[in-house]
Structure 1
Amino acid sequence: MSILVAGKLALVTGAGSGIGREVCRVLAREGATVVAADQNIKTAQETVASLEGVEHIALHINVEDRNSVETAFKDVVKQFSKPPTIIVNSAGIYRRNFLTEVDDNIFDDVININLKGTLLVMQTAAKAMIEGNATENSSIINISSIAATRRDVGQSIYSASKAGVIAMTRTASLEFGQFGIRVNAVLPGFIITPMSAIIPDEVREMVIKNIPLQRLGKPGEVAEVIVFLASYRSSYINGASIEVTGGLN
């Protein structure tokens, strides 16, 4: 059996839980060295402790703070003598509010983490790859959401942030493609994660009825798609948005 990302260095944000943690697990299983980056260093360390192999490291990152992102990448390049060539933007927050109840803090938090955070990590990663002459067969995977393309009450700002991720992914794929860096987005549906745990039970049951597969997704099912996009097997996929939703749309 081929190891999909053998010898690659991967950086995953939001690595302390949910989809991010599962992505780290699958990347490690497929031969990558993983930098598990999270605002919560303790949960990032717990992720690293659960991985196959010994090279992996945990790293503190605050994706909405440019200094924090740039420092994180400098630390990785210093430690490994090369930039990461697989980037997974999994850091994100979910807020559910009627539009009339959205205040400046909610707006800023969601946009800064979900959208600006994705921008800062992509921007810093691409610069590090270009400077390190390590762009060939590199891959950036951004996590959007099915909320970006469907209507749902209370998700105006969250949906806007995730739609922004798709738009930014498409343009980044155009700008970075000439260097050999592919950029794609994954749109998870309703996945069993700490983020989805705050959804009320009655809403959850209603959602499951609308999913053709009649169940919520598992983080590992999203992670497998992300690692495929990080690997040579997706070498001509660029600027795509792939839904992992059990058929919900």
Structure 2
Amino acid sequence: MRTPAEPLIPAERDPVKLRRTALTLVTLMIVSAIGVYIAYMKLAERQASDETPSFKGRIEKNFKVWRQDESEGDLAEMDGEVYVIAPVLFSKPETWKHTREVLERLSLRYAGRSDFHIICLTVDPEGEPPAKLKGYAEQLGAKLPQWWLGATREESVHKFLKNILKMEMIPHKVDEEWVYDGTLVVIDRDRHIRKGTVRTDKRARMDAPFDFEAAAKWDAEHPTPGDPTRVSRDLENLLQHVIDHVLAKPVTTK
């Protein structure tokens, strides 16, 4: 015979204990939140003081061009070396006047290094085929193996610039004139596409594209009193910093 079940009696809740428990939980949540915030701020501080250039991708596939001596060049040959790539229109030197001056200074600055190269890619390979590159190279004083002038199929170079190097636009014609993004890019020993960064405040950084035509235009329209080429000079100094940084690093990936 079963014993009758005792009636269930609701537990008495102690308001004091409940308040104490609630306060404890809230305190733990606040402490945890503060800990996370402090950790985040420390991370942001480290990132802000980190001078390592950021990167926006990697060249995973080979890219072949015909050079100024009509030999075939392959970016795979550059594995373990550092180089800059500049999209240009050789027949319109006025469209990349300031970029050219920067490249000339780079060629002198790193003249003694066999592991640094400059690659100028024409955005109009049909109008500027390999047979014409020799003449352009003579005008520039561009000599192999340091300074390449390259041409390949139009479709190939345009896709390379837009999809791989992440240029702002694919080269195209407007009223029969070529329009293209002439930003310089730096490629490190591991084929990473490097870019410069600048601080906007103590903790934030932003990308600084190496567009020297845009920098010169800004200087002309917004000159700094007593220092009319300040933006262009600062951008070139940043470019040299990035190149020096990646030249000092060994190959780390295969």
Superposed pair shares fold, TM > 0.5: no
Q: Higher strand share goes to which structure?
A: 2
Greater per-residue helix proportion: 1
| TM-score, length-scaled by structure 1 | 0.28
Higher relative contact order (CA 8 A, sep 6+): 2
